[in-house]
Structure formats: C-alpha cells, structure tokens
Structure 1
Amino acid sequence: MKILVVGATGATGQHLIRQLLQQGYDVIVVVRSAEKLPESVRNNPRLSLVEAPVLNLSDSELAKLTAGCHAVASCLGHNLTWKGIYGEPRKLVTDATRRLCKAIAVNTPDKPVRYVLMNTSGNRNRDLDEPISFAQKCVIGLLRLLLPPHVDNEKAADYLRTEISQDNPLVEWCAVRPDNLIDEDEVTKYEVYPSPIRSAIFNAGKVSRINVAHFMASLIGNEELWEEWKGQMPVIYSE
C-alpha cells in the first residue's frame, strides 16, 4: 500500500515514516528540504521524495501524489520561530488539509482514503460536549488572539468535521490530539480517549512523539482500530 506523508521532517513525522517503512508500506513524503531526513530514511528504496513546500504544489500535482494512496498523514506544524508563528503561511495546516482532501476527491477512489491529522489536545472536539473551565476558556481565547498556529489547528480539524463530515464516500478522517509532547527513543504503553481526561492548559499530561507516530501508523494499517476512531478526535497520553 502507498501512503503520502506531509510534515515528514518534523520530530513526529520522522518517527511516522520510519514506522511506515518498517511495516512495508511504500511512502511518499513532501518536504521542504530532503537533507532534514536521516540518510538511512532518504536511501530507503520504499521512500519517494518530493522536495517542495506542500502549498506550492499545484492542484494537479497534489492529485497525482494522492492517486492510489491508501492514506494521507499530516504531521504539519509551524516552526517555533517568530516567522514560523506569525509569518506566512498562517493557515498551513488548514490549507494543506483542504487541498489534499480535494485532491483525493478528484481521483474518485474506489474506497475512502484515510486522512490522519496530527492536531492538539488544546483544541476541543465541537462534535462532543467537552467541558472546560472558565479559566481555560479565557486562556484559549488569548491563544486564538496571540498565536495563529492554534487557530490553524482548530480550523484544520473543523474542516474535517464540518466539510468532510462523517459520511463522505471518498475521504475518511481522524484527528489525533496529543497532549504535551516529549521525546523518547522507543514506543511505550499509551492510552487513547475520545476526549481529554485532564486540562490541556492547567494539568497537561505527556505523550512521546514516537507513541503518537505509532498510533497514527496503527490507524492507517489496522482496520479494527480505524473503525473505532474514524470521524473522531482521540486524545493520546503516554502511561
């Protein structure tokens, strides 16, 4: 099976493509700079590289890349620099999600293609009644005003919820919401919930990037797990 990954040079994206390659998938990655990938990954015969900002690709190029894909995974995010946070493109994740889903639809696949988005536990699933405190609402309101990447994450998930929705015949989706990300070298036990079990602002948990990648890869390859979580925004914590 063929998988397209965007955001592959990030810390979580690199873990994801390694796991997909280890599981025998043919993986296509769209990256700004191939040099940011380890040489062992770049030289893998199952890996195909497209070196370009994903939003610079034309609609026809995106349609060609998604043709025949079993799944598309997005680990896109904004660099933690002034330009990365406040510069363009401010809607990187949202625009990539929208354009990739439209590219999938252009190909009219026989079976729905899985779109797996890495999101954030600070974003509420508005399909569910997820209660948060007044104080957290105030902080989230400030984040919307001060940090464009937070708004981008919200709008990307909202596009999947409201535009792709639950019964799209061409695209199925899952938005994975990790809590506070940490670095670990190996996959460990983790837990997945439909909604946060703790405050993402005042009592955040932790989850390793490699665990997030493992869950995303499992969603792509495990039919039972996909049926459990498709159309949802699961929150993941390391034990």
Structure 2
Amino acid sequence: MKVLVVGASGATGRQLVNQLLIQGNEVKVIVRSTQNLTELWKNNDKVQIITASLLELSEEEMSNYVSDCSAVASCLGHNLNWKGIYGKPRKLVTDATKRLCSAIKNSSSKHPVKYVLMNTSGNQNRDLNEPISFAQNCVMCLLRLLLPPHVDNEKAADYLRTKIGQNDTYIEWVAVRPDGLINENEVTEYVIYPSPIRSAIFNAGKVSRINVGHFMSELINDDNLWSKWKGQMPVIYSKASVSNSNLSVVLL
C-alpha cells in the first residue's frame, strides 16, 4: 500500500512514517525542508520525499501526489512558539485537510481513500454530543479566543464530520485524538475509546507519540480496525495512564 503523509517532519509524523515502513508500506512525504529528516528515509527506496510547501501546491500537483495512494495521513500541527501559534497560516490543518480531500476527489480513485487526521482530545466529537464540565467548557471558550491552533483542530475535524460525512464515495476518514503527548522509544500497550474518559484540561492522560503513530498505521493497514473506527474520532491513551476500572474496552 502507498501512503501520503503530511506533517512527516514533526515529532509524531516521524513516528508514523517509521511505523508505516515497518509494516511494509511505500510512503510519500511532503515536507518544506529535508534538513531534519533521517538519512534512513533519504536512502530508502520505499520513501519518496517531496520538498514543497503543501498549501502552495497547485490543484493539479496535489491531485498527482495523491492519485496512486490508498491512504493519506495528516500529522500537521502548529509550532509552539509565537509565530507558530499566532502567525500564518492560522488554518494550516483545516486548509490542508480541505485541499487534500479535494485532490482525492479529483483523482477519481476507484476505491475510497482512507484519510487519517491527527487531532486532539481537547476537541469534542459533536456527532456524539460528548459531555464536558462547565469549568472545562469555560476553558475551551477561552482557548478558542486565545489560541488559533485549537480552533484550527476543531474546524479540521468538523470538515470531515460535516462535509465529507459518513457516506462519501471517494473518502473514508478517522480523526485520532491523542491525550497528553509524550516521547518514548518503543511501542507500548495502549487503549482506544470512542470518547475521552478523562478531562483533557483538568485530568489529562498520557500517550506516547510512537503509540499514536502505531495506531494510525494500524488503522491504515488493518481493514477490520478501520471498519470499526471509520467516521469516528477515537481517543488514544497509553495503557499505563488509564485506571484498571476503565480497561474493559481495551481494543488492542
């Protein structure tokens, strides 16, 4: 299977690409610079590195890049500095999602293309009317006012929910919501839930970036797992951060 990954130079994107390669996939990555990429990718015949600014690609170029891919994964995010949070492009994740989905449709694939979006546990799945406390709702309102990246994540997922929906001919999607990202060197046990089981603001759990990359890769490669979660926004936690009383719905 050939997979296009955007945001591959980021901390989680690198983990996703590595997991895809471990599972035998061919991978295309679109990056603005190859400076931070591992030499193992540059010397790997299964990795095609495209050096470009994603939002500056023409519609034709974008369609060409996705035309032979069975899946597209986005690990795009904003850098945690002043320019990354308040500078342009403020709608990086949303605009990239819209453009990539449009390119998939224009490529007229004979089979639905899987689109996997890395999102955040701080974003509600409004299809499920997920309850949150009054205090958390107040904080979320402040985040929407003060932090453009949070709004960007919300709008990207909303685009998949409301514009692509559940029955699109060309695109099937999953928005993965990690909680409390940390760095670890190896894949560990993790658990998946349809909705958050803890407050993303006041009682956040933890999940390693390598576990997120592994789960996203599993979604792309395992059709049974994909069928279970397509059109949804699963939340991922490392097992160690979840109490034993909540482990009855462990999926892996």
Q: Alignment partner of 1:34: what SS?
A: coil
Whichever residue aligns with residue 155 of structure 1, its letter is K
Runs of 4+ in 1 over 2 A off after TM superposition: none
Whichever residue aligns with residue 114 of structure 2, its letter is R
Cα distance in 1 between the residues matched to 2:52 and 2:174: 25
Cα distance in 2 between the residues matched to 1:107 and 1:210: 31
Q: Which residue of 2 aligns with 1:93?
A: 93
2:112 paired with 1:121: no
Backbone CA RMSD of aligned residues: 0.6
Q: Which residue of 2 aligns with 1:63?
A: 63
Cα distance in 2 between the residues matched to 1:166 and 1:7: 25
Q: Alignment partner of 2:15: what SS?
A: helix
Q: Which residue of 2 aligns with 1:159?
A: 159
Q: Alignment partner of 2:198: what SS?
A: coil
Q: Alignment partner of 1:130: what SS?
A: coil
Query: Aligned runs of 1:15-164 on 2, under 5 Å?
Result: 15-164=15-164
Q: Alignment partner of 1:78: what SS?
A: coil
Q: Alignment partner of 2:35: what SS?
A: helix
Q: Shift in Å at residue 107 of structure 1?
A: 1.0
Cα distance in 2 between the residues matched to 1:163 and 1:129: 18
Whichever residue aligns with residue 120 of structure 1, its letter is T
Q: Shift in Å at residue 102 of structure 1?
A: 0.4
Cα distance in 1 between the residues matched to 2:86 and 2:95: 16
Q: Which residue of 2 aligns with 1:219?
A: 219
Residues 114-149 of structure 1: per-residue CA shift (max 9 Å, x gap): 000000000000000211000000000000000000
Kindly tell me the number of residue pairs found equivalent between the two proteins: 239
TM-score by length of 1: 0.99
TM-score by length of 2: 0.94
Whichever residue aligns with residue 64 of structure 1, its letter is N
Q: Shift in Å at residue 52 of structure 1?
A: 1.2
Q: Shift in Å at residue 62 of structure 1?
A: 0.4
Q: Alignment partner of 1:105: what SS?
A: helix
Residues 65-93 of structure 1: per-residue CA shift (max 9 Å, x gap): 00021100000000111000000000000
Q: Which residue of 1 aligns with 2:180?
A: 180
Q: Which residue of 2 aligns with 1:194?
A: 194
Q: Which residue of 2 aligns with 1:168?
A: 168
Q: Alignment partner of 2:70: what SS?
A: strand
Q: Shift in Å at residue 40 of structure 1?
A: 1.2
Cα distance in 2 between the residues matched to 1:238 and 1:141: 28
Cα distance in 1 between the residues matched to 2:159 and 2:192: 22
Whichever residue aligns with residue 220 of structure 1, its letter is I
Whichever residue aligns with residue 98 of structure 1, its letter is K
Q: Which residue of 2 aligns with 1:209?
A: 209
Cα distance in 2 between the residues matched to 1:40 and 1:33: 16
Cα distance in 2 between the residues matched to 1:35 and 1:129: 43
Cα distance in 1 between the residues matched to 2:101 and 2:55: 13
Whichever residue aligns with residue 184 of structure 1, its letter is E
Identity %: 67
Whichever residue aligns with residue 11 of structure 1, its letter is A
Structure 1 gaps of 5+ residues are: none
Structure 2 gaps of 5+ residues are: 240-252
2:5 paired with 1:5: yes
Cα distance in 1 between the residues matched to 2:151 and 2:185: 31
Q: Alignment partner of 1:28: what SS?
A: strand
